[in-house]
Chain A
Amino acid sequence: DIVMTQSPDSLAVSLGERATINCKSSQSVLYSSNNKNYLAWYQHKPGQPPKLLIYWASTRESGVPDRFSGSGSGTDFTLTISSLQAEDVAVYYCLQYYGTPRTFGQGTKVEIK
Chain B
Amino acid sequence: QVQLVQSGAEVKKPGASVKVSCKASGYTFTSYHMHWVRQAPGQGLEWMGIINPSDGSTSYAQTFQGRVTMTRDTSTSTVYMELTSLRSEDTAVYYCGRNIVGGWLDYWGQGALVTVSS
Q: At the interface, yes or no: A105 with Cβ under 8 Å from chain B?
A: yes
**What are the interface flags for A85-106 relative to B under an 8 Å C-beta threshold, 1 for contact and 0 otherwise?**
0000001010101101111111
Q: How many A-B residue pairs have CB under 8 A?
A: 60
CB distance from A68 to the nearest CB of B (A): 15
**Known contacts A50-B45, A102-B47, A105-B44; 12 further A-B pairs (Cβ under 8 A):** A38-B103, A49-B97, A49-B111, A50-B105, A50-B108, A51-B108, A91-B44, A95-B45, A104-B46, A104-B47, A106-B44, A107-B45
Chain A residues lying within 8 Å of B102, measured Cβ to Cβ, are 36, 38, 55-56, 97
Chain B residues near A102 (CB-CB < 8 A):
35, 47, 50, 103
**In the complex, which residue of chain B has the Cβ closest to the Cβ of A91?**
B44
Which of B49, B103, B109, B110 is the most central at the interface, judged by chain A CB atoms within 10 Å of its CB?
B103
Task: Report yes or no: B103 in contact with A44, Cβ–Cβ below 8 A.
Answer: no
